[in-house]
Amino acid sequence: MFKVIGIICILIGCVGWGNMRIRQERERIRHLHTMRHILERIRTEIAYGKHTLPEICLMLTEINDICYRNCFQRISEASAANGSGLPELWKAEFQAFLKNQPLQEEERELFARLPDRLGFQEETGQAESIGRLEAFLAQKAGQAEEGCENKTKMIRSVSILTGLLLTIWLL
């Protein structure tokens, strides 16, 4: 009886680990899409509205993703409260937030260090520079989506197989 319960627990554990990895991969794709969407919004606000970074942050407090929305809310509040330098607030906020997200280092850095790229003296050039980052994230998201199905199958197979092997070994 205990052996059967043990086998079930091991199998559930391994499948659960597999599912967690799959969910992380999907979560990464979601983050990439959200970040791309935010960059797109920033690009259009710069190109067509010529808005400043604090104004854009204020507008982004209305985006759908609650995690990013909260970050922009905190940045806007801190900036409005004491007029602190927005690049520092942005970096600190997003470095802390993205650290715990299933993203690659270069993806995190690209987004967290975005204000460093806002030194252009003219809005078209500035928008184009952000457009390049947006294209990079779109490419990353595309690659991740393409590989996601195969990766999901592989992780699922490996997790079940690991569970079976562990069971056989422990028996």
CB-wise, 16 or 125, nearer to another protein?
A: 125
Is 115 a binder of another protein (CB under 8 A)?
yes
CA 130, CA 134: separation in Å to the nearest integer? Answer: 6
Q: Between residues 88 and 106, which has the closer beta carbon with respect to another protein?
A: 88
- What tokens appear for 169 in the block? 């070994």
Pick the closer one to another protein by CB: 79 or 159.
79
Cβ-proximal residues to 113 (8 Å cutoff; 6+ apart), any chain: 91
Structure-derived torsion over alpha carbons of residues 149, 150, 151, 153, reported in degrees to the nearest 10: 90
Positive or negative: CA dihedral 89, 91, 92, 98: positive
Q: Which is nearer to another protein, 84 or 143 (CB)?
A: 84
8 A C-beta contact, residue 63 and residue 82: no
From first CA to last CA, the distance across the chain in angstroms is 13
For the CB of residue 76, give the shortest distance to another protein in the complex, in Å: 11
Q: Which of these ranges, 25-33, 61-69, 96-104, 117-125, lies near another protein under the rule CB under 8 A?
A: 117-125
Q: Is 51 in the site for another protein (CB under 8 A)?
A: yes
HSE, side-chain direction, 13 A CA sphere, residue 82: 5
Work out which of 123, 151, 154, 164 binds another protein, going by CB under 8 A: 123
* Using rule CB under 8 A, residue 50 touches another protein: yes
Using CB under 8 A as the binding rule, whether residue 87 contacts another protein is answered as: yes
Q: Which is nearer to another protein, 14 or 90 (CB)?
A: 90
Catalog residues that contact another protein under the rule CB under 8 A. 46, 50-55, 58, 82-88, 115, 118-123, 125-126
